Chains A and B, each alone.
Chain A
Amino acid sequence: MKYYLLPFKFTRIGDHEVFVNEVGDMLHAPIGTAEQIVNRTIEDPELYKSLVANFFISEIRIPALLDVYAERLAEKKRFLDDYTALHIFVLTLRCNQNCIYCQASSRDEHCAASSMSRENMRLAVQHMFKSRSQYLTMEFQGGEPSLEHDLFLYGIELAEEINQTEHRHLTYVLCTNSINLTDEVMATCKQYNVLISTSLDGPSWLHNQNRGKQDSYEKVVKGITKAREILGADRVSALMTASELSLNYPIEIVDEYHKLGFTSIFLRALNPYGKATDNADWEAYTNRFIEFYKQAFEHIIELNKQGHVMIEEYAAIILRKLLTPWCTGFVDLQSPAGIVNSVLIYNYDGYMYASDESRMLAEENDFTFQIGKLSESYENLVYSPKVKEWSKVWNNEAIAGCSDCALQAYCGADPVRNHSTQGDLYGFRPTSLFCKKNKAIIEYIISCVIDRYDELMPIFRNWIR
C-alpha cells in the first residue's frame, strides 16, 4: 500500500484510537490503527477512504486540495487576523457584595481610591481603537462596574464619538452582580444596547452561602427580571462559578437556571486568583469539578431530551472546534493564547494588563503580566519586550506536553495560569491542573460524540448552530 502521511496526532479514549488532523477534524478507529496507518497496513477500505478524504493521508505527495486545507487552517486561526477584539475595562474594585470566593480582590463599596480616572478611560478607549479588529467588544468589569455609572457612560460615549469616523462593530457588555441595576444604569444599557452578563451560582440557599449574604439571590433575581423587562430576555445572560460547596449540587444548579428561564449555562470552575486562592487543595477541587461537570452535563442532556433548550457553553465551544470549520473566538482555549492577541485589560489603576487573571494577580502584588501605563503608546505596549517574551510560550503547538497532544486543536495555552499555579510561564503539563481539567472534559465530550452518536448528535447540532 503506497501513500503519504499527512500531519496528524492520535490518542486513546476508551476503546478507541482517536485521530485529529491539523484543522481539528477527528476520526476514530479501533486500537492499533495508528500503527497500521504508519506501517501502511490499513485493513479497512472504508477507513482508508476516510483518511484520504479528511487529510490524514494522501495518495500523492502534495495533496491536490492542499490550498483548500490551508484555507481551512487559516480559518481555524482567524482570530489572529482579527486582532484584539475583547477589551475589558475594569472600572473599579469597589463592590456591594464582596463574595467569599471573589477572584477579583474586590473592595468595600465606599472605598474611594480604587476606581478608574476619566483620563485613563479616555486613554483606554483610544487604545481600543488602535486594534485593527473590525469587531470590538467593550466589556465593563469590577468590582461592581454599575457603581461607577458616570464612568461607564463616559466610556461608551467616547467610543461612540470615535466610532463615527472608525465605523467598527461595537458591542458593549456590563458584567454585573445585578444588585445595583438602577434606572440610570438601565437607561444607559437600553440606549446603547448593552448586554448584561450577571452571575448566579444556583438556588437561593447555595447562591447566598457562596456570597456570604442573606438576600443576595433575591436581589440578583430581581435585577435579572428588571433587566429582561427593559432590555429583552436575550440581552441578559448569567454565569455560574462552582465553589467547593457548589460541587455537591450539579442537578440543583442546572435546574435553577432552567427554572429562571435561561437556555444556556457555562459550568465554570473556580480560578486560583483573589480570595479563591484560599481554597486549600486545588487538585482535589479539580477532581471533584470534573465529576461535577459530568453530572451536570448529563442532567442538561436529560432536559434537552425532554424538549427543553439548555446549552452547556463549554461543551458547545469544544463541539464547534470539533464539528465545524470555524474558529470559536473563546479566549481561554486558544493557541496562540488569548492574552494580548484577543484580549486586553485596561485596569482601574491606569495600567494595561494581559488578561483578566493578570490584573487579579496584580492585586496580590504580582505584576508579571502588567504591560505598562495607559499613557504609553499602544505600539510600545502591545509590542513591548515583555509581550515578545510571552509569545515564546503562548503556542501549545510548541510547548512540551502539548506539542504531541491530540487534543491540542481543542485546547489552549495559558502562560498566566502556568505562572500563577506552577511558578513559570512555560508550565509543566504532567502536574498542570489546567491540563488535567481540559483533558478530562474534552475527552468526555469526544467519547460522547463517538459512543453516543445517535443519541446525542441531534442535541449537539442544536448547540452549535
Chain B
Amino acid sequence: MKLSIDRQIYSDACISKVVYWLSAQYAIERTLDGTIETLSISRNDGHPFDETELRSQCLRLLNDYKLRQTIDDETRDIRTILYAKAFADDENLTVE
C-alpha cells in the first residue's frame, strides 16, 4: 500500500511518529519527492491487511500528531518556565 503525504501539511516529525508506532506491525519505506512524501507499507509478517482501515488509521494519527505538535510548539516557553519554577533551586525566579 502507498500513502502520499504533503510535507507542507504534516512535518517530518509528525510522519516519523506515525511510522514509529506502526513499525511494530508494518515495514514502511519512506521516499521524498519535492514536498510529497510517499510511505510504502507492507505487513512485517507478509499477511494481507485492510488498506482502507490502515489508511484512515494513518490519517487519524497524522492529525493527532499535528495537533500535539502545535500544542508543543505553542507551549514550549511556558513549559520551560513551569519546570524552572518547580525544580530550580532559585526561589526568587520571577517571570515578567
User: Which residues of A pack against B, CB within 8 Å?
Assistant: 4-10, 22, 34-35, 38, 61-62, 66-67, 69-71, 73-74, 77, 400-401, 404, 428-431
Contact = CB atoms under 8 A, between A and B. Distances in A.
Nearest to A406: B68
A38 B82 contact: no
Interface string B41-71: 0000000000000000000000111011011
Given A5-B71, A6-B75, A7-B75, A62 B81 contact: yes
A65 to B, nearest CB: 11
B74 to A, nearest CB: 5
Given A7-B75, A34-B67, A38-B70, A77 B23 contact: no
Categorize the interface residue count of chain B. 20 to 34
A7 B17 contact: no
B20 A7 contact: no
A7 B71 contact: yes
A382 B64 CA distance: 40
Nearest to B71: A5
Nearest to A9: B68
Contact of A430 (B20, B64, B75, B95): B20
B17 A404 contact: yes
A62 B82 CA distance: 10
Given A6-B78, A62-B78, A35 B67 contact: yes
Contacts of A8: 71, 75
Contacts of A400: 20
Contact of B68 (A67, A73, A404): A404
Contacts of B68: 9-10, 404
A71 B83 CA distance: 10
B82 A71 contact: no
Given A401-B20, A431-B24, A73 B86 contact: yes
Contact of B75 (A5, A67, A69): A5
A22 B74 contact: no
Contacts of B63: 35
Interface string B14-33: 00010011111000000000
Contacts, number: 67
A22 B82 contact: yes
Given A38-B70, A74-B86, A431-B24, A404 B79 contact: no
Given A35-B67, A77-B87, A431-B24, A70 B82 contact: yes
B82 A69 contact: yes
13 contacts: A5-B71, A5-B75, A7-B72, A22-B82, A34-B67, A35-B63, A38-B70, A38-B71, A67-B85, A69-B82, A404-B17, A404-B68, A431-B24
Given A8-B75, A77-B87, 16 more contacts: A4-B74, A6-B78, A10-B64, A34-B67, A35-B67, A62-B95, A66-B81, A66-B85, A70-B86, A71-B86, A74-B87, A400-B20, A428-B24, A430-B22, A430-B23, A430-B24
Nearest to B84: A70
B87 to A, nearest CB: 7
Contacts of B24: 428, 430-431
A62 B78 CA distance: 7
B67 A73 contact: no
A190 to B, nearest CB: 42
A404 B23 contact: no
Nearest to A397: B83
A9 B71 CA distance: 8
A74 B83 CA distance: 8
B24 to A, nearest CB: 4
Contacts of B17: 404
Contacts of B95: 62, 66
Contacts of B82: 7, 22, 66, 69-70, 73
A7 B79 CA distance: 6
A374 B95 CA distance: 46
A191 B21 CA distance: 54
Given A5-B71, A77-B87, A430 B81 contact: no
Contacts of B81: 62, 66
A70 to B, nearest CB: 4
Nearest to B16: A400
Nearest to B73: A5
Contacts of B85: 66-67, 70
Contacts of B64: 10, 34
A35 B67 CA distance: 7
A401 B67 contact: no
Tell which of A35, A66, A70 has the most Cβ of chain B within 10 Å.
Answer: A70
A57 to B, nearest CB: 10
Contacts of A66: 78, 81-82, 85, 95
B44 to A, nearest CB: 10
A35 B85 CA distance: 29
Contacts of A429: 20-21
